[in-house]
Amino acid sequence: MSLSPYDLQSNYGDVTPIDQDDGPSPIAPIAYSTEYSTAMSYFRALVRNNEMSKRALDLTSEIIKHNPAHYTVWNYRQQILFALNENLTAELDFIKRLARDNPKNYQLWYHRQVIVEKLSDCSNEVAFVNEVLDDDAKNYHAWSYRQWINTHFNLWDDELPFIDKLLNDDVRNNSAWNYRYFVVFHDPDVAEENLIESEINYTMEKIRQTPNNISPWNYLRGILEKSSRDIQELESFCKEFTDNDINSPHAMGWLVDIYGNRAKNGDEQAKEDAIKICESLANTHDTIRKAYWEYRKDELATPSS
């Protein structure tokens, strides 16, 4: 079936189409194609009659191919699939074909989740997500869907090795770092001290590869906060990237926090060191955040009441 008015009329001759009502004088009407407008007119009529039929399903297929972001059509398609007890595995193939050209279409990902949950079978899903991430390792929808798969079906064993591969390919993959945090702390009882220590060492090595990459620095801070480890422990590590020609603004910012904490306890030397680093960041190493570092400097210089 196509979306031509002729084919629609021949397949739905018993249906009275319902045109879109934009009011008597629409200010900015959307320039839909004739084929799409005609198909939607028949679709509205089928929805009004709550028709659950093969021809209604075919019509949703055609409309979705032309407008894969049409949430209402996806929702009605789900109702038809379940009412007719259609082959849901075949539906996954339909979604996969559409995903090749629409990998960041939210409606498509949500529809796939509904179908997989109905099937109670995720055997093809990791491979599907991997295929999408191979093409775009930072696809937000694919990562969100992967989180759902692992949470819903309790699939965790292979996730850290999978993330290791992505970070070995691109250590700046912020999506992979975010997902790593999700995996490590998905179960508080699993994140024991030995795992925390392993993650700290792992992240430190990644930082040594790219000390100006903010992603592992943020991940390391999250690990410390989640485990109640003291940031003071990493003073020597931070100095690896400030006592030479690297001068990583992220390491310098950490030292501001470390020395600032000591300054709160009356350590005047730490206070002077923190202020000096703030000046260096504001004027040389992180000028894009000049106002922030000047604020931090004033905060340090102001006596606490």
Please return the burial class of 26, using the count of CB atoms within 10 Å of its CB with bins 0-12, 13-18 and 19+: exposed
- Catalytic residue set: 104
Q: What is the pLDDT of residues 71-125, one digit of tens each?
A: 999 999 999 999 999 999 999 999 999 999 999 999 999 999 999 999 999 999 9
Cα–Cα dist 237/44, whole Å: 64
Cα–Cα dist 106/109, whole Å: 5
Work out the pLDDT band at 140, boundaries 50, 70, 90.
Answer: very high
Contact 271, 246 (CB under 8 A): no
Residue 189 has pLDDT above 70, yes or no: no
Work out the pLDDT band at 128, boundaries 50, 70, 90.
Answer: very high
Work out the pLDDT band at 190, boundaries 50, 70, 90.
Answer: low
In the chain, the N- to C-terminal Cα span, in Å, equals: 77
Whole-model pTM: value is 0.86
71 against 34, higher pLDDT: 71
Work out the pLDDT band at 26, boundaries 50, 70, 90.
Answer: confident
Q: What is the pLDDT of residues 208-264, one digit of tens each?
A: 999 999 999 999 999 998 887 889 999 999 999 997 778 899 999 999 999 999 999
